[in-house]
Amino acid sequence: MNKKVVLSAVQPSGGLTIGNYLGAIKNFAKLQEDYDCIYAIADLHSITVPQIPKDLRRRSYELLAVYMACDVDPEKSTVFLQSHVHQHLELSWVLSSISYMGQLGRMTQYKDKAQKSEENLNAALFTYPVLMAADILLYQTDFVPVGEDQRQHLELARDLAIRFNSKYSDTFKVPENLIQKATGKIYSLKEPNIKMSKSSEDENSYILMLDDPKTIERKIKRAVTDSEANFCYSDKQPGLKNLINIYSAFSKEPVEKILQTYEGDSYGQFKLHLAEVIIESLRPIQEKYNRLIEDKSYLEEVMEKGASKASYMANKTLRKVYRKVGFVQI
């Protein structure tokens, strides 16, 4: 019996935070045991905002090394750079012909970025949800694990699959969101009402997966808690609640046990132990990453094999699409 297909793609747009790790990448290794997993490095999506080419190339290698340091096995999963599989762009063009301007204009991320960066209001920023739909539909994907901020994009992929199937006959699977056991959403260490993000101007608001122990200790020490003295898991104390969620996610201890352990202790003691938990959890990942990133030829071998495997799968879908829309095939 064939396994269901799961696809996930991450942009190589900078260092990954512990929020990225806990919310997505940590689960990649588990998923590959039960599904046919396709893990893309979405470098095509990255150029919707200005990039320094050499930095983009470097970060693509780094993200591949992070995937593998988190136990993504290229023998079990299909791991590749999006730009190495030309069918993504080809399917995106076909899907653009059935995508409506109004629907793309209502995309929340587009509206947010348009307000923040009017001087870089390029066409790719407007149409990249169509490319994202192509990423998904190209592999006859059953499930896409997405958070709330990407739900709109998955809905577009579903709409385009249904629209194409209705117009040309059944061609695409209609993908669904893979609901996983929820990790408490990880918020900024400085503003616990907003999501932890690398794009924050304050580097003390996030912890990167590759931060060294001293940096992690410093950032946790500076994390906001609350003026109230009681150690409590409450929306009235969002800073402390966020730190408890991080502790629980890394240690796998339930919130209730953490509350019992630190009842009556100072925030300082809790923060010290939290930093230790994060450091020890990330240590094996960082050690494996440091070995992998030094072996560029091996990483390129993984990229090449992954692209070949992905291209073979993608081509089966694209040939079917081209035939149905009326293109002459030779």
Q: Catalogue the active-site residues.
A: 113, 195, 198
Complete edge-to-edge strand list for the sheet that includes strand 36-41: 78-81, 36-41, 5-10, 143-144, 176-177
The residue assigned the tokens 């997405």 is 146
Instruction: Calculate the alpha carbon distances from 98 to 74, 94, 157, 245, 323 in Å.
Output: 34, 7, 11, 42, 16
Distance, in Å, from the CA atom of 310 to the CA atom of 105, rounded to the nearest integer, reads: 31
Contact status, residue 136 vs residue 145, Cβ threshold 8 Å: no
| Three-state secondary structure readout of 273-298 | HHHHHHHHHHHHHHHHHHHHHCCHHH
Whether 37 and 77 have beta carbons less than 8 Å apart is answered as: yes
Contacts of 322 (CB under 8 A, 6+ apart): 94, 329
**Contact present, 183 and 23 (Cβ < 8 Å):** yes
CA distances from 294 to 137, 298, 327 (A): 34, 9, 45
User: Nearest CA to 303 among 4, 12, 3?
Assistant: 12
Assign 264 to helix, strand or coil: coil
Closest C-alpha among 301, 205, 325, 225 to residue 268? 225
Tokens standing for residue 153? 């994009």
